[in-house]
Amino acid sequence: MKLFNKHLPKGASMAKALIARAPSISLDWDQRQRSRLNGLNSNDEPVALFLQRGKVLRGGDVMVSEQGELLKIISTPQSVLKITSCAIHGSPLDLPRAAYHLGNRHIPIEIQSTHLLMEHDHVIEEMLKNMGLIVEKCELPFEPEAGAYEHASGHHVHHDHEHDHPHDHGHP
């Protein structure tokens, strides 16, 4: 069994051509949160993944074995609820309000500009429908937001350097 214990978020600085040729493993959200996992890669070879506790794998990440072999992480489609606001009766505040209520319940959500995704929960599904939102069951890859204190790849993070645009938004 090949052991993969080095985590490169989004492939870090690896050449895309190398990553493209690497075997992959498809994992759902629950599997990508585990610090220890055994499975089969796309070549049907047994692999073991060891992650530092508290780290999670995201689709597009790469794991490296002790021998320098690469393994691409793929977010496999899973049962999720897709939450949208009603185009006719909805308000621009419907999705932010839903995100607020889900966050208050510590429910992992993926935030997109047109919808929210969350793992299926029939109680929360009813709550969202009662708020006037459209909720549909789908099979999609699920990439919930990282916590406020975790730097997620692909998200804008403020650094200690100047930007080309001012950050004074009228605050005193």
Please name the residue that has the structure tokens 């993926």: 110
d(CA 38, CA 48): 4
Segment 15-30 shows an average pLDDT of 95
d(CA 64, CA 172): 48
Contact of 42 with 2, CB cutoff 8 Å: no
pLDDT digits over 113-153, tens only?
A: 999 999 999 999 999 999 999 999 999 999 999 876 555 44
Q: In the CATH scheme, what is the code of domain 78-140?
A: 3.30.70.790
Please name the residue that has the structure tokens 């500009």: 113
Q: What is the pLDDT of residue 161?
A: 43
Contact of 118 with 133, CB cutoff 8 Å: no
> Among residues 27, 49, 51, 28, which one has the least CA distance to residue 38?
49
Beta-carbon contacts of residue 152 (< 8 Å; ≥ 6 apart):
58, 145, 146
pLDDT digits over 39-58, tens only?
A: 999 999 999 999 999 899 99
Q: What is the pLDDT of residue 62?
A: 97
Check if 2-75 and 78-140 are the same fold.
no
Task: Report the percentage of the chain scoring pLDDT > 70.
Answer: 85
Q: What is the DSSP letter of 110?
A: E
Helix (H/G/I), strand (E/B), else coil: 159 = coil
For the chain, domain boundaries: 2-75, 78-140
Q: What is the pLDDT of residue 157?
A: 39
What's the mean per-residue pLDDT of the chain?
88
Instruction: Identify residue 132 by its one-letter amino acid code.
Output: G
The answer to whether residue 166 scores a pLDDT higher than 90 is: no
Residue 92 corresponds to which tokens in the numbers above? Answer: 């621009």
Indicate the range of 12-21, 27-36, 156-165 predicted with least confidence: 156-165
Q: What is the pLDDT of residue 110?
A: 97
Whether domain 2-75 has CATH 1.10.565.10 = no
Please name the residue that has the structure tokens 């990508």: 32
Contact of 69 with 76, CB cutoff 8 Å: no
- Predicted confidence band of residue 112 (pLDDT cuts 50, 70, 90): very high
| pTM of the full structure | 0.79
Residue 149 corresponds to which tokens in the numbers above? Answer: 């204190």
